[in-house]
Amino acid sequence: MENAFGDPQTIVLLGGTSEIGRAIVDALVTPAAGCVVLAQRDPATAGSAEYAESLRARGVDRVEVRAFDARSHDEHQGWMRELAAEIGDLDLVVLAFGVLGDQATFDADPAAAAVAVDTNFTGSVSAGLATAEVLRRQGHGRLVVLSSVAGERVRKANFVYGASKAGQDAFAQGLADSLVGSGASVLVVRPGFVRSKMTDGMDDAPFSTTPQVVAARTVAGLRSGATTVWAPGILRWVFAVMRHLPRSVWRRMPR
């Protein structure tokens, strides 16, 4: 149960190795936090034990790294129900898993593109619905969905990723609306280009940001009860314009 400051007691990070996801967890671990669950495909991923230890050092009594595969859609409901039965109410679930991929690779290997969409979109659908079921029953709790500006208007440079994020974003908005009145809520976070290991080696795009900025924007959104936040915030206004550019101009965007 959140306290009067809006500090969660239990936090679940779906995509336990996500840098943005971890930055959000770091920003939300307060003395009130008693339990953090890091859900990731391979609990033995390098650095996971160290990250879990860093949370314990900050006073979180119970930190667990659990196996969770975004593509094992048929397991998500059972996984989430089991988790709630075991640790009690889930105050905050951060849906942070996702793969960026490379458009040229996808062009050459359509099956690989389908795998990426399966993770980013289909995985978000099954994990999001499984989470919503638990939150609805609790009558409270928040789901943070890490979307992307890439889905706001899909660019030719990464349109498979963009399309998967567009689908995920639309799904999250619908889910948010369906939860109104239940006590549970969804916050959609739309970061721009984030410098992290996901984008390692790529050139910075305009309005590049960091996982910490995305985390700060997310926390501010949770505190204010927002339904959508952009990171950095100016992207909201940038995309208010970009969204309406003629296709002939939009397709000439360099990347």
Asked if residue 16 lies in contact with residue 36, where contact means CB atoms within 8 angstroms, the answer is no
Active-site annotation holder among 161, 171, 193, 230: 161
Q: List CB contacts of 21: < 8 A, sequence separation 6 or more.
A: 13, 14, 15, 94, 96, 97, 146
Whichever of 33 and 39 has its CB closer to other proteins, that residue is 33
Written as six digits, the tokens of 53 are: 């230890």
Q: In this structure, what DSSP letter does residue 2 have?
A: -
Q: How far is the CB of 92 from other proteins (least distance, A)?
A: 14
For residue 165, the one-letter residue type is K
Whichever of 66 and 140 has its CB closer to other proteins, that residue is 140
Whichever of 32 and 163 has its CB closer to other proteins, that residue is 32
For residue 25, the one-letter residue type is V
Q: How far is the CB of 190 from other proteins (least distance, A)?
A: 24
51 given a catalytic annotation:
no
CA neighbor of 168 nearest in space, from 112, 123, 121, 117: 121
DSSP assignments along 28-39, one per residue? H--TT--EEEEE
Whichever of 4 and 46 has its CB closer to other proteins, that residue is 4
Cα pseudo-dihedral 208, 212, 215, 216, rounded to 10? -100
Whichever of 110 and 139 has its CB closer to other proteins, that residue is 139
Interface residue list for other proteins (CB under 8 A): 1, 3-5, 7, 9, 30-32, 34, 88-89, 136-140, 183
Q: How far is the CB of 207 from other proteins (least distance, A)?
A: 28
Q: How far is the CB of 20 from other proteins (least distance, A)?
A: 23
Q: How far is the CB of 224 from other proteins (least distance, A)?
A: 9
How far is C-alpha 110 from the geometric centre of its chain's CA atoms? Answer: 25
Active site residues: 161
